[in-house]
Structure 1
Amino acid sequence: MPNFAVIRTSLAAAFLVLSTVAVQAQSATTTPVVNAGRQQLTEYLDHIAAERTAARRTAVASITTRAQAEARQAMVRKKILALIGGLPERTPLHARVVGLTQAQGFRIEKVIYDSQPRFPVTALLYLPDVKPGAKAGKLPAIVVAPGHGPTGKASDFGFASTFARNGFAVLSYDPIGQGERLQYPDPAKPGASLATRPTGEHGEAGLQPTLVGDAVARYFAWDGMRAVDYLQSRPEIDANRIGAFGCSGGGAMTALLGALDQRIKAVGTACYITSFDTLLPAIGPQDAEQSTPNFIASGLDFPDWVELAAPRPYAIIATTEDMFPFAGAQKSEAESRRFYGLFNADVDLEFLTGPGHHGNLGPIQARIVSFFLKHLQPDADAAHPVLPPPRKPGASPFALPEGITKDDLQVTSTGQVATSFPDVETVHSLNLKRYRSLPKPKELRGEELRAAVREVTKAAALPAPHGSKPKPDLVTESDLTVADVKGDVSFRQVVLHSEPGIDLQGEIALPRSEGVHRAVLLLANAASMPAESAERHELAGKMEAMAEAGSVVFAVTPRPSPPGTEETKSPILGPFYLTELRAELTGKTIMGMRIDDTIRAVDYLASRPDTDSKRITAEASGHLGLVLLHAAVLDARLAHITVDDALSSYRSLIEAPMPRDAPQDLLPGVVRHYDLPELEGALGSRLTLTHPLSGTDDLSASLWSKTN
């Protein structure tokens, strides 16, 4: 047996040097070696995003007339609607008031309306008391969306009550996955989510719409638009004086609503508007409803939300130390101000800024209320809004005042739509119906199927022509001379330079015998694991056995290499949710980039003088098995592949009530073109498939546990 301690120690030393060099080349900041590959991939995607946003800024800067600005608005609106999958059909609201709470200066009606059939939205309608001697008339109104808090609409009591005391009707509603609208409620813990928190709820709800070519933003946008429908149905509301306000996640929903619904006459978006070229390098992409696939790739950026509203009054509201970069808000405000100026010399765009971190709107609350008074109540004294008394030191900004309880703000009997109305729809069930309504894709074969795979995955690499040599800089090999078994196998460390900025860690096992050998490609997370790990030992043993049997064996980890880690919004989303959002924004997919890596790995094996290019096989498991399945359809040099523990169909993933660790496998709109059984059929005898997984199975096998 080989001296594995010596082998693994040598590999560890080489890998440490290579990884350290890669990190130093990427950034002057300190990055843990385990995240070097993740950092490379992030910078690669951010570079693509920066190129796209720069080209967009140039295009917008060339607009010099109102006609050109309106033409861009029409184009952008059409593009956004296409990206999110359009809007649902307008159906009866079936609105009902189920309770009433009287407060000082206003009353709160508990409201339920159906955004879509049997898809209820829980909301609170704040109505100001009629002041003695006041002139009778219809009320202006504001749609208020909350940030990413579990209490949903209850967290907006402070602003909603302030607006009400200033003469506004306010509809404050629960977004999907918040308040009383959990999509994945934990049956064992009332009020808790199996997706952990609102961002986990939104992320999980966003997976399956992506597969049918939609974005979960269509559901969020439609909830807000139906809120406007409800306000317009109320006789006491002036349908021509409706505004929208929200902060943080609520700011995202307000930006979407203000851009797509021209019935909104004044928009206040807080702690959200920034720019992608500042956001991505700072905190990265945020949440599924804020990260529509191909948004950046389609030439769009944050200012488009504002510019779509022109010339309607708009307030970009930002705090100087916000996690949504203030510098980005300044850039977007400057561009939007010029855009607004093309409509009217009297620009109705305000930039309301204040000190503090994310959501610190207290210091500028008066200016926010004044903005809405100015534009929706022109006869009011906008300079002197009615403000709540100062909070006690240390009090939470979301704390309810005396006399108002949680029950006063709860609409359903149980506190959750799902348990109060067990037969209601969810995003999952609505998307499943949408999937089943799609026309069956055309049966694809040969080049048509390969073209569809490339279109869907965004894979770009083309197999090198037979007999060609690889690019001189494709690989870097380092000899790891160690004690080996019977003198029959040697190992080399290999860094595959898949494309500029992307280095893949791997190793190759070579038989000592001379001549031309079979070649085996192993897509393996373990190839970039810490050298002392048990999984790396297992991989080395497998490679050694194959090499002893006469094969050249190349094990490599597709990007990111090593896989690394990221912030986890919810355990059920797995460790690649935010990376996939970043990729999708720029017009890429993790799957497609890994397919490119696989094809370039085959290029390397096929070009070696000691391998037979007609006898290259490959093996992979889990998520990498799905990568290999796609790659083999595109690359005929893979004479045979073995795939195990991989997803069996995208249909099963769409049907699953709560997929686990699915982001790595996502392909926007894939089921409109093909499903996995079509790929399996195309490969025929070239494929050995074992233990296929359904969408209801746990796809979250440890990143470190798969060695083939």
Structure 2
Amino acid sequence: MILPRFHVALGLALLSSIPSPAQPWWRGNVATPAEARAQTDRAIGQLNPYLNAIGYAQLTRRAERVAALRTRTDAERRQVEVRQKIKDLVGGIPALSGPVAVQTFPGFDDEGFRIENIVYESAPDYWVTANVFVPDGPGPFPALIIAPGHGAGKSSQYSWGVNFARAGILVLAIDPMGQGERLQHFDPELGTSKVEPVGEHEHANQSALLVSQHIARYWFADGIRGIDYLVQRGDIDPARIGTFGCSGGGTAAAYLAAMDERIAVAAVSSFITSFTALLPGHGPQDAEQTLPGFIAADLDFADWVELAAPRPYAIIAFEEDFFPLVGAQQAHAEAERFYGLFNATDQLKFIRGPGGHCNLGAVSPELLRFLITHLVGPHAPIPALEPRRPTDTDVLNVTPTGQLSTSIGSAIAEDFTRAAAAAIPRLQPFRSVEATAHHRDELRDNLRALAGVVARPGAPAPVVTTDSTASLDTYLLEHLTFASEPGITLPGLLARPHQRGPHPVVLWLDALPLDRIANEPDFQRLAASGHLVLALHPRGVLGEPDPQADRLALGQYMPVHLRAHAVGKTLIGMRTDDTLRAIDWLRQQPDVSPDQLTLFGPGAQGLVALHAAALDDRITAVVIEDTLVSYRAAVAAGLHRNLSEVVIPGVLNRYDTPDILLSISPRPVTIINPANPMGQRMSNADAAAELSAVLATDTNLGQPDRVQIIHRDPRDPRPLP
């Protein structure tokens, strides 16, 4: 929220309306739409430029390295390095070799082609539904692998399949994960996905990130095994296999051409651009298109093209696309030089079209000429694109029920995530203070490396300005602005008792508008009882989501989460930086007691509070409320909500919340209403089971009550000091 810069008189008038602690107030009250918009605008208005600046610096470094390539050997060496980087970023490609397992279902014949309906296995027990458009004749045929855009159905591929088949090209048209007949969370009663079909990619990816994986690995596997299937058919020319797609389908085509050299030609539409052009606007798009640390690893969209060099490649871009045309031109210019190192600039084509996203009709003659020339031959006739629609879209359904889950069963991507998490050993109880201390030291290194925390306790305090002050009966209420780092200012609300200190301190991290925090009975009680209370909005806080309007899969933090992860940042890490810097400032205040600092964080800020306490021994106690009990629980659950705000790529490979709780020992931690991955309150017993190693260690060390798990009704006071 953008805090008003009160004149003192206005501040007194507004603050006089704050109810006394005796008046009822509870967190059921939410921000008004205007408050929520103002808070979101302020947060995004700062965070996006901050993250963009990091990305621009990384892209400049990358551009210098690419510009230093001088020979074909240099280019080939970079291809090997980049391909391995990408495999590492996605957690490797699921391994499956040998003959492709295939199941066939009834198809149908049409004029000049027939459709075969199949499913094939691209990873163990992980099946892909596909329509195969087969030309008339004996073959061998050239072939294309195509996929629809994100959210589009298989009928969107029908016209392309028909036209290419009638031109003599066999087409394998697949359903991407989470689309068509491959919904990962299909609910037969709803007749659709529990997480909304367009959000299935995002939902699966948030879980995968926790175990150092990314769902692009399944796009790679689907395409690679698709080539294997085509080759084993016997009616395909293995030297003439291509790929084509637009938007999400363009993503799949770019990935396949980059990761499998058996692709002889690629046409990629409405995907290739540059991050220099993309970041100022929409920024990173869908989950499958945004690999964690991609920009930080010296990568850009042009790398997808350059990995295909010197094979024929067409970049197709549109003047009004949200994948900016200027970025596509930049990628083409760089890739053209890269292709030049192979003496193959004539193999790279740029097709520019009018209109918006995937306006393929306007460029179809040029697109068809490119693909048919390279797949059929330079003298093959180029047919006019004839728009075709199936008379009944149901005929394109491969499986009897129209969904893999209810027809033949299939693993889903999150099954692989759960298997990876299950293979990670759980924390075991410790029996000595020395072992606990060693674990704490290791955790701090891991936490900084994965969450990306850079602040160090005891650094010079940030610059803080007072925007307004109002005097209440027992304390002053000050609106503050914290300059956490260049480009990042944070609103704060400080209750400072009239009586001289030193005072115990409560640092209150929250997503609620600050004036609403000032109305909280606990805030008022603490301030009136002689505590110095600082309520702070860490960076990027967009306010509390409306549980009725919130989309299960995405959550309001998905766009920020994608942008941050692309440049190697996390919201948890950046907010922990802000918290540590706020403590640096608090410790400099003359009326602060240095050994009485409690950190309180509700919701996602509870995980920020835990991370800060793990790194800063000056925090003497931690209270969290409605906070996810563990990352492992999020992976194990079938569904989760708003996980994007707290995701840390690879976190479960190094640590989880029980590790953090253990590292805070011997300092006390109170967990109020521990939350499951859906944001619902867990039973105290279930939470204790999830944290059993911590509770057992505390018992072994003679402090069995250090971690308290309690239930609180919204009207009850919090157990704050």
CA distance in 2, matches of 1:186, 1:172: 25
For residue 545 of structure 1, what is the aligned residue in structure 2? Answer: 525
Please give the TM-score of this superposition, normalised by the length of structure 1.
Answer: 0.87
Aligned residues: 649
Aligned pairs for 1:304-319 (under 5 A) are 304-319=303-318
Contact 1:619 1:642 in 2 (8 A): yes
For residue 87 of structure 2, what is the aligned residue in structure 1? Answer: 81
Is 1:147 the counterpart of 2:149? The answer is yes
CA distance in 2, matches of 1:519, 1:258: 58
Q: What's the CA shift for 1:55?
A: 1.4
Taking a change above 3 Å as real, the CA distance of residues 165 and 347 of structure 1, as seen in their structure-2 partners, is same
For residue 106 of structure 1, what is the aligned residue in structure 2? Answer: 113
Question: What amino acid does structure 2 have at the position aligned with 1:521?
Answer: L
Contact 2:290 2:566 in 1 (8 A): yes
CA distance in 2, matches of 1:446, 1:434: 24
Contact 1:657 1:696 in 2 (8 A): no
Aligned pairs for 1:188-587 (under 5 A) are 188-190=189-191, 192-198=192-198, 200-345=199-344, 347-378=346-377, 380-381=379-380, 384-389=381-386, 400-401=389-390, 404-421=391-408, 423-438=409-424, 445-464=439-458, 470-471=461-462, 474-482=463-471, 484-485=472-473, 488-526=474-512, 528-529=513-514, 531=515, 535-539=516-520, 541-561=521-541, 563=543, 570-587=551-568
CA distance in 2, matches of 1:351, 1:695: 45
CA distance in 2, matches of 1:7, 1:433: 58
* CA-to-aligned-CA distance 1:579-626 (integer Å, 9 cap, x gap): 111111000000000100110111111111110222211111111001
Taking a change above 3 Å as real, the CA distance of residues 167 and 380 of structure 1, as seen in their structure-2 partners, is farther
Contact 1:37 1:563 in 2 (8 A): no
* CA-to-aligned-CA distance 1:262-302 (integer Å, 9 cap, x gap): 11010110111001111121112111110110000100000
Taking a change above 3 Å as real, the CA distance of residues 345 and 168 of structure 1, as seen in their structure-2 partners, is closer
Is 1:50 the counterpart of 2:41? The answer is no
Q: What's the CA shift for 1:509?
A: 0.4
Q: What's the CA shift for 1:150?
A: 4.1
With 328-337 and 115-124 compared, the bigger mean Cα shift is at 115-124
* CA-to-aligned-CA distance 1:621-649 (integer Å, 9 cap, x gap): 11100110111000111011111221111
For residue 610 of structure 1, what is the aligned residue in structure 2? Answer: 591
- SS of structure 2 residue aligned to 1:72: helix
Question: What amino acid does structure 1 have at the position aligned with 2:56?
Answer: A
Taking a change above 3 Å as real, the CA distance of residues 379 and 61 of structure 1, as seen in their structure-2 partners, is closer
Is 1:115 the counterpart of 2:140? The answer is no
Taking a change above 3 Å as real, the CA distance of residues 558 and 239 of structure 1, as seen in their structure-2 partners, is same
Taking a change above 3 Å as real, the CA distance of residues 8 and 102 of structure 1, as seen in their structure-2 partners, is farther
CA distance in 1, matches of 2:362, 2:309: 27
Structure 2 unmatched ranges of 5 or more: 1-8, 18-36, 429-434, 683-713
Is 1:63 the counterpart of 2:69? The answer is yes
Q: What's the CA shift for 1:108?
A: 0.6
Is 1:626 the counterpart of 2:638? The answer is no
Taking a change above 3 Å as real, the CA distance of residues 699 and 51 of structure 1, as seen in their structure-2 partners, is farther
The percentage of counterpart residues that share the same residue type is: 39
Taking a change above 3 Å as real, the CA distance of residues 691 and 66 of structure 1, as seen in their structure-2 partners, is same
For residue 23 of structure 1, what is the aligned residue in structure 2? Answer: none
Structure 1 unmatched ranges of 5 or more: 13-30, 131-135, 392-398
Q: What's the CA shift for 1:544?
A: 2.7
Please give the TM-score of this superposition, normalised by the length of structure 2.
Answer: 0.86
With 667-676 and 433-442 compared, the bigger mean Cα shift is at 433-442
CA distance in 1, matches of 2:262, 2:230: 11
* Counterpart pick for 1:9 among 14, 19, 22: 14
Q: What's the CA shift for 1:350?
A: 0.5
Q: What's the CA shift for 1:148?
A: 1.6
Q: What's the CA shift for 1:476?
A: 0.9
For residue 18 of structure 1, what is the aligned residue in structure 2? Answer: none
For residue 628 of structure 2, what is the aligned residue in structure 1? Answer: 647
Contact 1:84 1:292 in 2 (8 A): yes
Contact 1:146 1:155 in 2 (8 A): yes
Question: What amino acid does structure 2 have at the position aligned with 1:176?
Answer: M
Taking a change above 3 Å as real, the CA distance of residues 587 and 569 of structure 1, as seen in their structure-2 partners, is farther
For residue 174 of structure 2, what is the aligned residue in structure 1? Answer: 173
CA distance in 1, matches of 2:444, 2:613: 10
* CA-to-aligned-CA distance 1:543-582 (integer Å, 9 cap, x gap): 332122121111101112554999x994433211111111
- SS of structure 2 residue aligned to 1:124: strand
Aligned CA RMSD, in angstroms, stands at 2.6
Q: What's the CA shift for 1:674?
A: 1.1
CA distance in 2, matches of 1:639, 1:412: 59
